[in-house]
């Protein structure tokens, strides 16, 4: 996350990852105030064993794009709601990456979906995660009540 103030949003993704038994690490790493740490984090993430990176950022929201520009790992951006523009500034910043530096982007403050997307990516090489996601989605399907006729 770009700052401690983003943690309430990030906390929701942590809960999803815990429920799916996916190891993760949360870090604060400002693209503007700690650019050296941000670059080091991105460049060595693969070597440290990371497979996917979720970045939550508000305002100018440069963190996801800058991380993506320094790694080949998949990066998922979570735009964080801001007071002035309600997170639209964050969303547009994250979703507007130039080729060939993509950042998958989810809805404003929707770090849960970022975690589910990360789990889906990981499931391509992990049968346990794949089965957990399939069971979860089946529970969701069954929980939807049919409309009375």
Q: What is the pLDDT of residues 19-78, one digit of tens each?
A: 999 999 999 999 999 999 999 999 999 999 999 999 999 988 999 999 999 999 999 999
Which structure tokens are listed for 92? 């547009």
pLDDT digit string, tens, across residues 92-108? 999 999 999 999 999 99
Question: Per-residue pLDDT for 1 more than 70?
Answer: yes
Arithmetic mean of pLDDT, 100-117: 98
Question: Per-residue pLDDT for 148 more than 80?
Answer: no
The phi, psi pair for 25, rounded to 5°, reads -140, 135
Question: Per-residue pLDDT for 116 more than 70?
Answer: yes
Across the chain, how many H-helices and E-strands are there?
6, 3
pLDDT digit string, tens, across residues 122-136? 999 999 999 999 999
pLDDT band at 11 (very low <50, low <70, confident <90, very high): very high
Q: Position of tokens 């969701």?
A: 140
Q: What pLDDT shows up at residue 144?
A: 87
Q: What pLDDT shows up at residue 147?
A: 67
* Domains located in the chain, CATH noted: 4-143 (3.40.50.1970)
């Amino acid at each position: 996350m770009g700052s401690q103030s983003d943690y309430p949003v990030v906390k929701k993704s942590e809960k999803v990852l815990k429920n799916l038994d996916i190891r993760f690490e949360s870090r604060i790493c400002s693209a503007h105030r700690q650019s050296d740490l941000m670059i080091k984090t991105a460049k060595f993430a693969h070597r440290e064993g990371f497979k996917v990176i979720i970045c939550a950022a508000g305002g100018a929201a440069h963190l996801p794009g800058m991380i993506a520009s320094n790694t080949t790992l998949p990066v998922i951006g979570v735009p964080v709601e801001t007071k002035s523009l309600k997170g639209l500034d964050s969303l547009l910043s994250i979703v507007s990456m130039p080729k060939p530096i993509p950042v998958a982007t989810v809805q404003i403050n929707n770090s849960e979906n970022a975690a589910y997307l990360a789990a889906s990516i990981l499931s391509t090489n992990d049968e346990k995660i794949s089965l957990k996601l399939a069971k979860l989605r089946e529970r969701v399907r069954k929980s939807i009540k049919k409309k009375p006729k």
